[in-house]
Every structure is written in C-alpha cells, then in structure tokens.
Amino acid sequence: MSNRSIIIMVLVLVGATAYLLLKGDGNIDMGGEKHGAEATHVEEAKKDAPAAAPAAPAADAKK
C-alpha cells in the first residue's frame, strides 16, 4: 500500500467517526464506574423497579 492510500483510509475513518459521534445522542460517558453522589441513576432505577421475588432456598440446606 502506498502512503497516499493509508492517508486516505485514515481520513475516511476519522470522518466516519466524527459523523457518528455528532449524529449520536451525545450521552457518551467515558468516566467509568461512578460511586457516591455521582451515581444518582442507580437510586432512580431502584424507585422505578418493582419489588423482586424472594430468593430460592439454598440446595445444600439439607443436613
């Protein structure tokens, strides 16, 4: 491959990436896992979620 082909390929990929990022939701969070006050979405999800069914008893409870 010539250098010209590589440069054109890189420019096409950069353009496609920029297009996808600009046309997307824009809610990209690259901050990683959140803890504490920053993790407000977890509390909201707990309020909206229905009550979970009780867990099944352990199989090795027979003694």
Indicate left, alpha or beta for 16 from its phi (over 0: left) and psi (-120 to 50: alpha).
alpha
Whether residue 5 has pLDDT greater than 80: yes
- 29-45 pLDDT, tens digit per residue, is 778 887 777 666 655 55
Reported pTM: 0.40
Single-letter amino acid code for the residue at 19: Y
Query: pLDDT at position 31, please?
Result: 80
For residues 4 and 11, is the Cβ–Cβ distance under 8 A?
no
